Amino acid sequence: MRRFLVRRIISSIITLLLFATLVFFLANALMPGDFTNNFMPGLGAQRQVLREQLGLDRPLWAQWLRFMTGFIQGEFGVSNSGRPILEIMLILLPWTMLIFTFAVTVAFLFGHWLGRMVGWSRNKAVKGVIRFFAVTAHTAFPPILTFLLAIGFVAGFSDLAWAALQRVENVDAGGFRIGRAAISIPEGQEGLLWAMILSLVGVGVVALAIGWVYRRVARRRLPGVVTLAIWVGGNAWFWSVLGELPRAIDILGLLLLPLLAVAILAFGEIALVVESAMDGVRGEEYILAARAKGLREVDIRDHHAARVALLPALSK
- Cross-strand partners of 177: 182
For residue 310, the model assigns a pLDDT of 75
Which has more pLDDT, 290 or 43? Answer: 290
| pTM of the predicted model as reported, rounded to 2 decimal places | 0.66
CA distance 261 to 103: 8
Q: Which stretches of the chain are assigned E, i.e. beta strand?
A: 177-178, 181-182
Please report the pLDDT score of residue 148 as a whole number: 67
- Please state, as a whole number, how many other Cβ atoms lie within 10 Å of the Cβ of residue 35: 14
**Three-class secondary structure of residue 187 per DSSP:** coil
- The arithmetic mean of pLDDT across residues 163-171, rounded, is 45
pLDDT digits (tens, 9 = 90+) for 299-316: 788 777 777 777 777 766
Q: Give me the DSSP letters along 228-269.
A: HHHHHHHHHHHHHHTT-HHHHHHHHHHTHHHHHHHHHHHHHH
pLDDT band at 181 (very low <50, low <70, confident <90, very high): very low
Burial of 235 (0-12, 13-18, 19+ CB in 10 A): buried
Look at residue 222 in the predicted model and tell me its pLDDT: 77
3-state secondary structure of 303: helix
Residue 103, pLDDT > 70, answer: yes
Break the chain into its structural domains and give their ranges. Answer: 2-73, 85-315
Half-sphere exposure of 193 (CA within 13 A, CB side): 22
> pLDDT per residue over 39-78, tens digit each?
666 666 777 777 777 777 778 888 888 888 888 887 777 7
Q: How confident is the model at residue 167 (pLDDT cuts 50, 70, 90)?
A: very low
